[in-house]
Amino acid sequence: MQNLLLLLAFFHCDESIISTWNQTGKERWEYTSIHEDKRDELAPIFEAMGLISEIAPQHTHYDYALIIGATKPSIEKRIAYLEQCLQTITIDNIVFLTGMRPLQPHEGIGTEYEMTRKLTAHLPASFICAPMQGTKRPGTVETLALWLESNPTPGRCLVITSQPFVPFHSAMLESVLSFPFEVVGPKASENWTVTLMLDTIAKVIVAQDKKTIGTIQR
C-alpha cells in the first residue's frame, strides 16, 4: 500500500486515476501507450511493488505446477522457467492452463492450446483447453475453473507466470483457488513498458474485489 501511495504521489493524483490505467477489453498489443517518458523515474517504484525482479519458489516440493497460458514469447519464457525450477525442486504433476485462442500472425497458425502442446512435447505434462466465449478468449479464471472441475486431489500448487504479472495472478487466485499456492515467475523483460506496469497495478486492485474477479483477463 505504501508503494501505491508513492506511485500516486508521483502523479500528484488520488486513487481515481487508477481506472485510467486499466486497459481491460484490449489485448496487450492493442494498448494505448501512457507515461512512457517517465520510465526511468518509475522503475524504482515498480521494483518496490514486486513487478520487475524474479519471484522464486519457496519450497522444494509441489504437488502441482500450474503454468498460465500466454502468447508465444511469454509461454516460451514460462516453459524455460519451469525447466529451471525442475533442476532444484520436485513437482508431481505439471498442468498447462491454456485454451482455444486463435494465434496471432507472429505466433504461427492454430490455437494457443496447439502451440503450447508443441512447445512442451518433451515434458510429462497435462493440458487444460478452455473454449472461446464467442469472440472472447478464455482467461486464467476460466482455465483454472476447468482444471478444478476435474476434481484434482488437494495439494500444494506452484503457479508459474512471468513478471510483471506475479502480483496480479496472486491477487486473482486468492478468491478462486482453495489449495495452498504460491505464484512465481522470471524477471520482467528488459523492454517492459510503463503502460503495462500501470495496467497490471490497476488489475491487481480490481482483482482484490472478488465481485469483479470473473471480468479480469490474464
What is the pLDDT at residue 2? Answer: 62
* Residue 133 φ then ψ, to 5°: -110, 80
Say yes or no to pLDDT of 75 above 90.
yes
What is the pLDDT at residue 15? Answer: 72
Tens-place pLDDT, residues 99-134: 999 999 999 999 999 999 999 999 999 999 999 988
Whether 85 contacts 123, CB under 8 Å = no
Question: Cα-Cα-Cα-Cα dihedral of 41, 193, 96, 147, to 10°?
Answer: 80
**CATH code at 61-184:** 3.40.50
Tens-place pLDDT, residues 188-213: 999 999 999 999 998 888 887 654 43
What is the pLDDT at residue 211? Answer: 40
Q: Model confidence at 216, in pLDDT bands (50, 70, 90)?
A: very low
Domain-wise residue ranges, the chain:
2-51+191-215, 61-184
